[in-house]
């Protein structure tokens, strides 16, 4: 009885320890850490930090930020494939009073990942407003898989953390007469960047050398409108139209 109980325990331990050893070894060898100090854009007053640990294509993202508009969605993304820098409020090239997403793109690039609270994290979810933080103080943590082009952009030093949505006129809501460059039915305040920071490699962890993925993000700029503009908005619109059609079908059956 005693012996029969002991044997499986040993077998389980033997099976478990190699796995534990493997996973901790790979975490030490392949993991890299990146940190972004968020700077305010569009006079948002937002401050904060972003931390990313990357092991292969798996990232754990932590964002702590404050000063955002309470009760309104804040889209947040990794932007990739450009200069890896942030615009300033002086880069309002069309002088409409806002640094827009379009005006920031030459600096920080297109969306590489959408830092949603659940579900899809691809650029398709760039404006998935029901899956982004909606609080004035954001404390976000999520682990998910990024694509190869996002991974390459981190290694190239061109990954940028951007938080969107700014109440520039202090009205307590996204409103105003300037409309979004991404969707003319939305106020500019809903999509304009509120905070931005380059995700720079931190000292801890050793970045693997010899990555052969240079150039993977080279088409990111071309895909900007598909990533965060027309495509994303069209998806939101399609989802809304689908919901209407579904309700209509339900009504027909009743």
**Nearest distance, CB of residue 101 and Cu ion, angstroms:** 7
Q: Which is nearer to Cu ion, 35 or 100 (CB)?
A: 100
Q: Say whether residue 151 binds Cu ion (CB under 5 A).
A: no
Count of residues interacting with Cu ion (CB under 5 A): 2
- CB atoms under 10 Å from CB of 86, counted, come to 23
**Nearest distance, CB of residue 62 and Cu ion, angstroms:** 17
Which residues 6-65 are close enough to bind Cu ion by CB under 5 A?
none
Stretch that binds Cu ion, among 4-12, 16-24, 77-85, 116-124 (CB under 5 A): 77-85
CA geometry: angle at 186 spanning 239 and 236, to 5°? Answer: 10
Stretch that binds Cu ion, among 13-21, 50-58, 136-144, 161-169 (CB under 5 A): 161-169
**Nearest distance, CB of residue 78 and Cu ion, angstroms:** 8
Burial state string for 7-27 with b = 16 or more CB within 10 A and e = fewer than 16: eeeeeeeeeeeeeeeeeeeee
As beta bridge partners, residue 162 has 77, 196
User: Which SS3 state, helix, strand or coil, does residue 204 take?
Assistant: strand
Q: Which residue is nearest to Cu ion (CB)?
A: 77
Stretch that binds Cu ion, among 15-23, 51-59, 75-83, 204-212 (CB under 5 A): 75-83
Q: Which of 41, 52, 69, 77 binds Cu ion (CB under 5 A)?
A: 77
Q: Which of 105, 162, 195, 227 binds Cu ion (CB under 5 A)?
A: 162
Phi then psi dihedrals of residue 129, to 5 deg? -65, -15
Q: Which residues have a Cβ under 8 Å from the Cβ of 158 and sit 6 or more positions away?
A: 80, 81, 82, 83, 84, 109, 217
What is the contact surface with Cu ion in residues (CB under 5 A)?
77, 162
């Amino acid at each position: 009885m005693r012996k029969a109980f002991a044997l499986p325990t040993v077998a389980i331990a033997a099976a478990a320890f190699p796995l534990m050893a493997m996973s901790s070894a790979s975490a030490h060898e392949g993991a890299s850490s990146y940190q972004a100090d968020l700077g305010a854009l569009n006079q948002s007053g937002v401050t904060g930090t972003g931390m990313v640990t990357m092991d292969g294509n798996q990232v754990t993202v932590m964002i702590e930020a404050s000063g955002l508009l309470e009760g309104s969605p804040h889209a947040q993304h990794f932007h990739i494939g450009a200069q890896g820098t942030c615009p300033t409020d002086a880069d309002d090239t069309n002088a409409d009073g806002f640094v827009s997403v379009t005006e920031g793109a030459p600096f920080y690039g297109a969306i590489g990942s959408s830092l949603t609270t659940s579900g899809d994290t691809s650029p398709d979810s760039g404006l998935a407003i029901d899956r982004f933080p909606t609080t004035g103080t954001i404390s976000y943590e999520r682990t998910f898989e990024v694509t190869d082009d996002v991974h390459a952009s981190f290694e190239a030093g061109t990954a940028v953390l951007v938080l969107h949505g700014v109440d520039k006129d202090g009205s307590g809501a996204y409103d105003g007469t300037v409309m979004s460059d991404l969707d003319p039915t939305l106020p500019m305040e809903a999509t304009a960047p509120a905070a931005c920071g380059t995700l720079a490699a931190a000292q801890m962890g050793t970045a693997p050398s010899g990555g052969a993925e240079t150039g993977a993000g080279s088409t990111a700029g071309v895909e900007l409108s598909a990533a965060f503009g027309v495509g994303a908005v069209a998806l939101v619109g399609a989802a809304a139209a689908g919901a209407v059609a579904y309700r209509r079908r339900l009504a027909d059956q009743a």
